[in-house]
Amino acid sequence: IELLRHRALLLVLDNLEQIGGAAPLIATLLAECPGVTVLATSRERLHLRAEQRCKVPSLELSAAVDLFVQRAQAIEADFSLTPHNRPTLEAICQRLDRLPLALELCATQIELFSPAQLLAELQVNPLNLLVDGALDLPPQHRTLRLAIGRSYALLQPEERLLFRCLGVFVGDFDLEAIEAVSDWRQEAGSHLLHATLHALINKSLVRTEIQATDITAIVPQRFRLLETIREFACEQLTANGEAQTAQKRHADYYNRMAAAADNHTDQHTLDALFAQLEVANPNFRAALRWLIDQQSSDCLRMASSLKFFWFTRGYVSEGRNWLLAALKAVPEMTVDSARAWLDLANLAQIQDDIDEAEVYANQASQIYQALNDSDGIVYASSTLGWIKHGAQRYQEAEEIFGVGLRSLAPTGNQLL
């Protein structure tokens, strides 16, 4: 400090997160050496009043592609960017969050894989591919797993636990979702959760997403993990035997969200609701995939709950695929499966796939009849009747509606 007290200079300090107790020394330095400006790189805040944080963003997509091509050409001189491979290279860069280190490590694999093969490998497990860094790089930067692991090793136990839980999310998520997955819902738990989440944000492992919305609207803050960091969190979640519990909580939460949306009755707020569901859609997909893999009947209920969302947002083909996958995973004849068949019939009719729609509606009718569910039989008859009507087969529709009306008589049901 004495040496710098009367000097004017820029002092550059790198990787300060690795040096415990540096912040008090820097505070003293700034107080006693007015001509000194400190430029510090760190994965976490110093928590000093004079600190002006500047987050280093990912590369722009064009710059990321250029970096990948440059590093690939250092391995294979004949490699070049072409109109044919540009979309694939852009997809690779997006998959790697446009991070320079990840791009450099990925480019070293160009000897083994074509760009299309690289992209396919990255969809499976990117961390296994992002290795073999140059020997003149610091050891922790020669594989991405080591680079992320270095930050993970510096976390406190409760920070590691929450970080692992966040690995189940795909895309972004809000505080309510975090509370559901981490299950820190008690008053003391909520306080601990907020403090721990704040610590992960300060340590650059969790990012906050800027919300572009009406300033008068109360919109929850959203968070996300970079994809490569999320992959590491998932690995640690599995290694610690916590994956099953976290994934079930995740699926339960998004199943409840889908059910609440399906029961939504306020027509004036539907646009806002569907916009909210659009943001959650990557997590709906992840939850559905997990429930289907588990052969849980919840996959039928969740898929049925999302039918109006799929229709409204133009995901009809995807919705049909999810419903078919759920019905294949849970083939038992239940009220839930009958409802799913009817929802499938309605989506097929929307796409003018009338023959398939009839098959699906008849499948639902057979299940309701086997269950002796009179209301269900009426629903199935009504659906099949409207399918026939939409196909301009009016006589057949009239006959089916007649069957439904006769079924109503014993129950007093007014559905038709």
- DSSP for 120-174, written as a single string: HHHHH-HHHHS----TTS-GGGSSHHHHHHHHHHTS-HHHHHHHHHHTT--SEEE
The residue ranges of every structural domain in the chain are 1-54, 61-146
- pLDDT of 256 higher than 70: yes
pLDDT of residue 286: 97
What spatial distance separates the first Cα and last Cα of the chain, rounded to whole Å? Answer: 86
Q: Which amino acid is at 150?
A: R
Look up tokens 């039928």; give the residue. 300
Confidence band (pLDDT; 50, 70, 90) for 60? Answer: very high
* Cα–Cα–Cα angle for 156, 162, 167, rounded to 5 degrees: 125
Q: Give percent of the chain with pLDDT exceeding 70.
A: 88
Q: Which amino acid is at 373?
A: D
**Contact yes or no for 350/360 (Cβ under 8 A):** no
**Contact yes or no for 154/255 (Cβ under 8 A):** no
Q: Mean pLDDT over all residues of the chain?
A: 87
CA 377, 382, 388, 391 dihedral sign is negative
- pLDDT of 77 higher than 70: yes
| Cα(174)–Cα(280) distance, integer angstroms | 10
- pLDDT of 86 higher than 70: yes
- pLDDT of 48 higher than 90: no
